[in-house]
Structure 1
Amino acid sequence: MTATPAQPYSPSKPRAHARDRAHAPARALADSLALVALPLALALVLPAAFAGGGTRRWFGGRAEGQRAEAQAAKDAAATAFYELDSAQRDLRISIETIRAVDDTPAARRAVSGFEAVGRRIDEASSQYIDAVDAVDLDRDDLEAAAASRARTELTRAKDELVRVKQELDRFAEGLGPLLGKAETQLARLAPAVERARQALLAASNALDTARESGLRADDLAARLAALAPELTKLNQGAGRHGVPLTLERAERVSREAEAVRAEAQRLPERAAETDHRLVSLRTRAQALTTRSEQVEPILSELRRRFSAACWQDLQHVPDQAGEHIRQAEARLREAQAARDAQRWPDATALLSTARALLNTTDEAVSAAGDRLTRLNAVQKDPQAEIDRTRFAIRDAQRLAMTGRSTPDPRHARPLDDAVARLERAVVTLEGRHPDYWHFLTETEAVRRAVADVVARIREERGAGR
């Protein structure tokens, strides 16, 4: 037996070979006697036998006892040989499993370790075969000394086979983690490959359905076609490409095919959504065109009633609004062309650009109207804005003093600053041409600063500080 035998050695073969060799003369003699008449055979054989002139030597007691002991040793050695052979066969399957799945240094060490144990098995097996072939225990003229020597050699061979078997068992126990990992990957392999095939089939069917509804889906068809070589490699199997690579390829194909299937199924919905967005954004562009025409009258009123500081930053709004609307309408025309060509990513990107332009325009146009509304309110009753801001400051001061005899300087200082800042803002309302917009922006800034102090106080108390 070798570490990787083409035809594993059978422990019965040495015994059968020796037995056949011992029995060959007896069979030849029987064939010869069959040709001679029985009376003549009796006449030739019986007198010689009774006269003690025959060539066969007869042994009794001690020789037969030694033969039996040697035969028992031979049988024990054969059992040990068979158990070692079976264990090696089983372990070879495990090693091949690891080799097929794992190429890590640990796996390579396991393979080389198995080869080393295989060489020890070869040596022990050779010793056993030599011991079996050394003496034919079935010979009629076997001497007691020869039988004793055979028993000793067979016992020694059996002991060596047992020792090597124990070494093989210890080596097999150390393969547990590697073998478990390899078997797990092998168990995943077939289902993963099947999932990949099914995902490709589902993607192909979804693509056919989309085309039947009049959608070309050329980009999806190209992505699906790019997976064809991967399917070919999957069909070639892990034996050619390796288990880890095949498993990774199957999972990647599944993901990409599933993405194609999902997009193909969503194509009708995507087309309808694109059409809806086109109509909606065109309507919004028209509405903003009408609203932007109202900005100039608003600016005129602002110029007439308020100081330049209240409206100078809005001077660009009419021109900018018109330009943005024109750009948005151009992007919408390009988006329509992309939709007609079923270039869905391009159509989506163009619609997003048009929407962003319209959002900017909407904010600018709304800012002009909001400015006039807020300036009108503060001009009519500035005290309402002052009271609102002072209330926010007092509320924060009460919170800062809760549970304390003196406020924390970290909180008191910014609140004192807020009070001073509010007073300075109120002063800007004095004079012939008050800067109402500066006043509004200052009071808003004061309220934001106060809100930050309140949030910090609550955070600190929530943390137990």
Structure 2
Amino acid sequence: MLLPVPLLAVVGALSFAGGSGGRRWFGGRGESQRAEAQAAKDAAAAAFYELDTAQRDLRISIETITAVDDSPAARRTAADFSALGQRIDQVSRDYITAVDAHDLDRDDLDSATASRARTDLTRAKDALERTKADLDRFAQGLGPLLEQAETRLARLAPAVERARQALLAASNALDAVRASGLRADDLAARLAALSPELTKLNQGAGQHGVQETLRRADDVLRGAEAVRGEAERLPERSAEIDKRLVSLRTRAQAITTRAAGVEPVLSELRRRYSAACWQDLQTVPAQAARDVAQAEEKLKEAQAAREEQRWPDATALLATVRALLNSTDEAVSAAGDRLRRLDEVSFDQQKEIERTRFAIRDAQRLAMAGRSTPDPRHARPLDDAVERLERAIAGLEGRHPDWWHFLSETEAVRQTAARVVQGIREERGGGH
């Protein structure tokens, strides 16, 4: 606790006043005792002044730390300083009590009283000096916390200025976009939402705290830079949406044309192959028509959103259109691909058989590499794959073989072989 200034003035007057008042001086031992007491009083006053000055200086450092740091270490430091302050208050009171208890200017000051005054004032001085030493040691331990706090304080003004400049840049970018005919209402609303934060930044750290002001400056900076970036990209985004609208319309028309060719393909499949080879494709023409119609409806909604400059809505609708057309394209392609693959395998099934057997043998060779017997984890699925292939081949006997089932089985066998190969390579690659 700091003493009020008038008290310091009184203490100074008591400590450093000359002997030119109405005091009468006496020679001999009595005067020597008075001089020694006065010297003790002056030394105690100097110790008190040094402690008070050190406490004032250190309080500035503590306030700097607590203003920007609320970590446990900072809180512990503030608590320790408060405890030191209570000690300083006590030794200061003891010092003042000692000064007030002894009037060294009295004409009738005797040797015994002067000796007691010297003893009391010396004791007060020693207590002040010990406390000052403890305060100095405490101050020396503040280095890292104080350096960190001062660094944060040094960041404060530049951080606030960067936030202001970012807001200005965002506002200018928004003005430029509007001048080109784009409204950017959502960006304008986001920028307006940052205005209260700018007001708080302008009010300063004195009102809102250093740490909170730094956080606010960073938030404003990020928000403003995001608005500026999106505003600068808006013309490009608008052009990209226009391009995608045209592209997806063209694609929808192309898929509609291709979908018209699915029915003849299905007729050919029905004429030449068993029902199991084409039943799952029966719904493709109707489904393709529904999906394309839905895609065209979403394109109209996307066009309306673009005209109203609802950019997020337009982007989302175009993504929906693309997904619809992708699935429709795959379904339409599946019919033609099915006929082609069935024609190929029905003409020469041996090619498919050899391709699958090669995959199995390749996996078997890898499983046996460096071993006299294969690992059951690898051998069992490969043995099952061999049997599955043989069953698929046997299933081709008869007047109307299920060629699609055969192709599905050979594909599944190759996938099994591939999984075994991958597992072996992963194990050996990991040092097993």
Is residue 2:326 matched to residue 1:359?
yes
CA shift at 1:258, angstroms? 1.3
Output the CA distance in 1 between the equivalents of 2:397 and 2:15. Answer: 129
Unaligned runs of 5+ in 2: none
Q: State percent identity of aligned pairs.
A: 73
Is residue 2:420 matched to residue 1:448?
no
Matched with 1:157 is 124
Change (3 A) 1:172 1:9: farther
**Pick aligned residue for 2:62 from 84, 95, 98:** 95
Structure 1 residue matching 2:5: 3-state secondary structure: coil
Matched with 1:209 is 176
1:270 partner letter: R
Is residue 2:56 matched to residue 1:59?
no
Matched with 2:272 is 305
CA shift at 1:73, angstroms? 2.3
Matches within 5 A, 1:25-44: 25=22
Output the CA distance in 2 between the equivalents of 1:87 and 1:79. Answer: 12
Deviations for 1:200-257, whole angstroms, at most 9, x for unmatched residues? 1111111111111111100100111011111111211222223333222222222111
Is residue 2:310 matched to residue 1:339?
no
Structure 2 residue matching 1:59: 3-state secondary structure: coil
Larger Rg: 1
Matches within 5 A, 1:323-402: 323-402=290-369
Matched with 1:225 is 192
TM-score by length of 2: 0.92
Is residue 2:5 matched to residue 1:7?
yes
Matches within 5 A, 1:140-179: 143-173=110-140, 175=142, 178-179=145-146
Output the CA distance in 1 between the equivalents of 2:359 and 2:126. Answer: 96
Output the CA distance in 2 between the equivalents of 1:104 and 1:8. Answer: 37
**Pick aligned residue for 2:394 from 406, 424, 427:** 427
Asked if the contact 2:11/2:45 (under 8 Å) is kept, the reply is no
Output the CA distance in 1 between the equivalents of 2:146 and 2:6. Answer: 24
Output the CA distance in 2 between the equivalents of 1:228 and 1:8. Answer: 47
Q: Which deviates more, 98-107 or 280-289?
A: 98-107
Change (3 A) 1:139 1:92: same
TM-score by length of 1: 0.86
Q: CA RMSD in A?
A: 2.5
**Pick aligned residue for 2:46 from 72, 75, 79:** 79
Output the CA distance in 1 between the equivalents of 2:381 and 2:112. Answer: 113
Matched with 2:88 is 121
Matches within 5 A, 1:11-22: 13-17=10-14
Deviations for 1:334-385, whole angstroms, at most 9, x for unmatched residues? 1111111110000000100111111011101111111111111111111000
Change (3 A) 1:366 1:433: same
1:16 partner letter: A
Unaligned runs of 5+ in 1: 27-55
1:298 partner letter: V
Is residue 2:159 matched to residue 1:192?
yes
Output the CA distance in 2 between the equivalents of 1:154 and 1:405. Answer: 100
